[in-house]
Amino acid sequence: MEKIQLANDLSLSRIIHGHWRLKDWNISKEETLELVEYCISQGITTFDHADIYGNYECEALFGEALKLKPELREQIELVTKCGIVLPSENRPDHKTHHYNTSKDHIIQSVNQSLHNLATDYIDLLLIHRPDPFMDPAEVAEAFKELKQEGKVRHFGVSNFKQSQYDMLQAHLEFELVTNQIELSPYNLENFQDGTLDLCQEKRIAPMAWSPLGGGDVFTSQDDKAVRLRETLKKVANELGTDHIDEVMYAWLLSHPAQIMPIVGSGKKERIDRAIKAQSHTLTRDQWFEIYTSSMGYDIP
Amino acid sequence: MEKIQLANDLSLSRIIHGHWRLKDWNISKEETLELVEYCISQGITTFDHADIYGNYECEALFGEALKLKPELREQIELVTKCGIVLPSENRPDHKTHHYNTSKDHIIQSVNQSLHNLATDYIDLLLIHRPDPFMDPAEVAEAFKELKQEGKVRHFGVSNFKQSQYDMLQAHLEFELVTNQIELSPYNLENFQDGTLDLCQEKRIAPMAWSPLGGGDVFTSQDDKAVRLRETLKKVANELGTDHIDEVMYAWLLSHPAQIMPIVGSGKKERIDRAIKAQSHTLTRDQWFEIYTSSMGYDIP
Amino acid sequence: MEKIQLANDLSLSRIIHGHWRLKDWNISKEETLELVEYCISQGITTFDHADIYGNYECEALFGEALKLKPELREQIELVTKCGIVLPSENRPDHKTHHYNTSKDHIIQSVNQSLHNLATDYIDLLLIHRPDPFMDPAEVAEAFKELKQEGKVRHFGVSNFKQSQYDMLQAHLEFELVTNQIELSPYNLENFQDGTLDLCQEKRIAPMAWSPLGGGDVFTSQDDKAVRLRETLKKVANELGTDHIDEVMYAWLLSHPAQIMPIVGSGKKERIDRAIKAQSHTLTRDQWFEIYTSSMGYDIP
């Protein structure tokens, strides 16, 4: 599998395994380990986490699996996030849903993530959401300290628009290496509002969350879903596959921005379809058919 | 009171007194002087004007007061604006409402402001509105000449969005030092469209006009006003005050962008509430409760 | 006629003749030549084309005329565009309407344009539309090769917003010299969304397509058209002309961004009105009356 180089000393696998729903998969730590090893065997070496996933529990579920075979740590890249505060029975001191990008919070969150993930370092830490109350100078201090201490190797953001990205970058001594954003044929917002343009301008490869658009395209009866599903089926047929998720992954993978889709499934056959997608090459006709089908009107 | 440094040789008081409605206050020049001295005694040393305020009359009303005690000039910072042309019985040659950011107009407007304000120099001149007919090179010439002649010490803008700010800045030989924009819990536009991000990126502290949102939040029965008022009352209660305007000022003052609210009231008790607001510290929970209450929906 | 300098060795005539509808004019090559020579005699030396105009036929119609008097080539500037793929009986291999900004497509398109236009070089090549599937590094390679081979002297874009412009520029070794955008009193989008600001920031003079707003303002009964038409008539009257198209051209020409309107008519009297517009000077009152009439509400 292709590796995408984000920095001199950091490359992620083109396809990333996401552990947003790890808790919902309801699998033992042995099964989790088995799944992780399956990913690695297929070249998927990057695993995406966040402090809050699974009500603050997913990181530790992964960590428990990793403890069974700690030597895997050297073979993988761990991505996690911080900055959202969620009320939760696991965090009784959290009163309201808000963002916290203070230096203290970021550092505490990373320390907890290190503990949960059973690791000494995080390869890539992302600020989970743009915080309207952000002090970019404080974030810069936190990042600098975490880097100096070796706790985090590189930093990025998630769901940042241009102004938010530029604001934070202006206060950092080193370059942000990615922006994890929603990108799929079903959700074109970041294709159209300048966010993906910014990634290409800055030469930072974006990570794509919800690369299948959250699932509506498979089952929803709303006009957009029906229309896009038909187009995806047509292209799937042209490509010789029965699976429209392969087409959606291929649509992202064929884009020149070096988009890294995050596969959020615990089922091997679904992971396989993302891998298989790498073998499909979309024509420009096909890429635009999907694009305009999602929009619902033609390009000018 | 805290001073906010905008340039090596220019600091404004954190809270600014605004004279938009000075004429409506209907007070004598002695009373105006008394009010100004009250502000100074409380640490409010910066006074915000514009050529057009009060139908082109407010600057001169302030100047008349200042003439009574000219030695005050050294203790204060005067901000004024130009660029809007209003039809007015005081300007019979003005035919239509439009913007004028030509070199001649800017210089003539400053000369008139100097005369009206009874001063030899303006500390900070702002272009009042982004002018769709602006020639940034002409504005740059005007600014350069005014600076060289010592008539204006520093320059900024008001109500500029990112593209307008970048356009003008690209033509100037020195940095704009502020953007005076509408910022309040009631009006989040500049928090959400990148304008405040730009200020933080460029490290320029913004001045906030209508920091109380124009008054609707106190009395209006529309959904947003009612909802926000309830939240402000709840937080006021938590902070131990009866005054939601204190909470609104504190909400702005606690933001890391070093927002300088402009208090537009001639009543000492209202000015006092802005000053008092500095002693309140909002938690992030409280800050976001107010933010999402104003939006009407939760953050993602 | 004024020349607008876009680069050390490239100046365009302030008014540009556009050949979008050359095929619809239904004129012989001798008549086309006569029209071109008329333009040149009036100082209009720049001619705007695109590969796709007239179903891929307009460039060649112009080329046939130029072959009648090849010595004209030295006196004129040829602008053309590429990047849109249209299904057409003239391009049977084109299956769908899409964009193609691959290196191969750009180079093939330019080679075809050189052949069609009967010239050895294009003065200015524009990417016709921002391509959501663009690889800016590939475009940069194509541009570099075309410049080195002397096939294209300078490069620009058309219909690009800020993020798209910045993305492409970041990958080029030389500066884009223009952005051809829709600009007219009837369509203010690029005046209001930062696109014209970007041109002024970067000091690149924009070319204006549909400078008369596509014709609705002359005949449509919708509110905006009626309102703007009345205002244009009033200003026309003040300027001493019967032709509101003169006013619309003058409105663009008087703007400080050095807008170059593209006149898309084959009728000399209509071309004359664009030329005549240069002699009108709008006051700021008039400029803003037209601007706010188009908006339908006053400026703040």
Give the β-pairing of A179-182 and A152-158: parallel
Q: Is the CA virtual torsion A10, A13, A19, A22 positive or negative?
A: negative
**pLDDT tens by residue, B216-264:** 999 999 999 999 999 999 999 999 999 999 999 999 999 999 999 999 9
Instruction: State yes or no: ipTM above 0.90.
Output: yes
Taking the C-alpha atoms of residue B289 and residue B295, their distance in angstroms, rounded to an integer, is 10
Q: Is the CA virtual torsion A172, B300, A257, B200 positive or negative?
A: negative
Radius of gyration of chain C (CA): 19
SS3 B76: coil
Least Cα separation, residue B18 to chain C (angstroms): 19
Taking the C-alpha atoms of residue A247 and residue A274, their distance in angstroms, rounded to an integer, is 9
Check: CB of residue C88 under 8 Å from CB of residue C94.
Answer: yes
- C223 interfacial to chain B (CB closer than 8 Å): no
One-character DSSP codes across A36-80: HHHHHHTT--EEE--TTHHHHTHHHHHHHHHHTSGGGGGG-EEEE
Closest residue to B285, CB basis, from A95, A162, A164: A95
Q: Beta-carbon neighbour count of residue C240 at 10 Å?
A: 8
Which chains share 3+ C-beta pairs under 8 angstroms with A? B, C
Phi/psi at C133 (5° precision): -110, 20
**pLDDT tens by residue, B16-75:** 999 999 999 999 999 999 999 999 999 999 999 999 999 999 999 999 999 999 999 999
What are the helix and strand counts (H, E) for chain C? 14, 12
Q: Which amino acid is at C120?
A: D
pLDDT tens digits for chain C (300 residues)? 999 999 999 999 999 999 999 999 999 999 999 999 999 999 999 999 999 999 999 999 999 999 999 999 999 999 999 999 999 999 999 999 999 999 999 999 999 999 999 999 999 999 999 999 999 999 999 999 999 999 999 999 999 999 999 999 999 999 999 999 999 999 999 999 999 999 999 999 999 999 999 989 999 999 999 999 999 999 999 999 999 999 999 999 999 999 999 999 999 999 999 999 999 999 999 999 999 999 999 999
User: What is the structure's pLDDT at C255?
Assistant: 98
Domain architecture of chain C: domains with CATH: 3-177 (3.20.20.100)
Cβ of C200 within 8 Å of Cβ of B85? The answer is: no
- C289 interfacial to chain B (CB closer than 8 Å): yes
Q: Which helix (H) or strand (E) holds B225?
A: helix B223-239
Cβ of C287 within 8 Å of Cβ of B133? The answer is: yes
C-alpha B23: how far from chain center: 17
Chain C nearest-CA residue for A298: C97
Which residues of B fall within a CB distance of 8 Å from C291?
A: 132-133
Cβ of A197 within 8 Å of Cβ of C166? The answer is: yes
Taking the C-alpha atoms of residue A273 and residue A253, their distance in angstroms, rounded to an integer, is 13
Chain B nearest-CA residue for C258: B135
Q: Which amino acid is at B59?
A: E
Taking the C-alpha atoms of residue A233 and residue A231, their distance in angstroms, rounded to an integer, is 5
The Cα-based distances of B12 to A274, B39, B254, C179 in angstroms read: 57, 13, 17, 41
User: What is the structure's pLDDT at C186?
Assistant: 98
Which residues of B fall within a CB distance of 8 Å from C200?
A: 134, 136, 167
**pLDDT tens by residue, A241-270:** 999 999 999 999 999 999 999 999 999 999
- B256 interfacial to chain A (CB closer than 8 Å): yes
Q: Which amino acid is at C38?
A: Y
Q: Check if C165 is active-site.
A: no
C-alpha A23: how far from chain center: 17
- pLDDT exceeding 70 applies to what percent of chain B? 100
Percent helix, strand, coil in chain C, to 5, is 45, 20, 35
Token couple for B193: 């469209």
**pLDDT tens by residue, A162-206:** 999 999 999 999 999 999 999 999 999 999 999 999 999 999 999
- Residues C223-237 as b or e (16 or more Cβ within 10 Å = b): ebbebbbebbebbbe
Nearest-5° angle of CA A169, CA A172, CA A174? 95
Q: What is the mean pLDDT of chain B?
A: 98
The Cα-based distances of B73 to A120, B47, B118, B163 in angstroms read: 60, 11, 9, 35
Point out the residues of A that are catalytic. Answer: 53
Check: CB of residue B210 under 8 Å from CB of residue B187.
Answer: yes
Taking the C-alpha atoms of residue A195 and residue A178, their distance in angstroms, rounded to an integer, is 12
Instruction: Rounding to the nearest 10 degrees, give the CA dihedral for residues A134, A140, A143, A145.
Output: -120
User: What is the structure's pLDDT at C172?
Assistant: 98
Cβ of B200 within 8 Å of Cβ of A100? The answer is: no
The residues in C 87-126 lying below 8 A from B, measured between CB atoms, are: none
Check: CB of residue C156 under 8 Å from CB of residue C129.
Answer: no
Q: What is the mean pLDDT of chain A?
A: 98
Q: B123: buried, middle or exposed (CB in 10 Å: 19+, 13-18, 0-12)?
A: buried
